Structure 1
């Protein structure tokens, strides 16, 4: 009887660990995606500012 209870507890703990690791991975991916979007927006802003300042230098 105790073997059955320990097996059920082990399965429950394994499922809990799986969902915990999956949640951590998805959270990390969302964080990297957010940082990537911020980096692209920053790159575009710097590029646009640099191009607009070049057009005013000749005047």
Structure 2
């Protein structure tokens, strides 16, 4: 792949999240990756996300 395209894509990816939110996003994403490793999930799908969020819903309550 063209090096300039890869560099432009990396810059765009790094600027998608505001700096203030990035650390919270990274924490949440790392939790998800750890959960996937524990469950031996190799491919992400809608069912994987539903299962992950369903499990987490048991531990967290709505703020309403």
Question: Scaled by the length of structure 1, what TM-score is found?
Answer: 0.36
> Which structure is higher in RCO with an 8 Å CA cutoff and minimum separation 6?
2
Query: Structure 1 or 2: larger helix share?
Result: 1
Which of the two has higher C-alpha Rg? 1
Question: Scaled by the length of structure 2, what TM-score is found?
Answer: 0.33
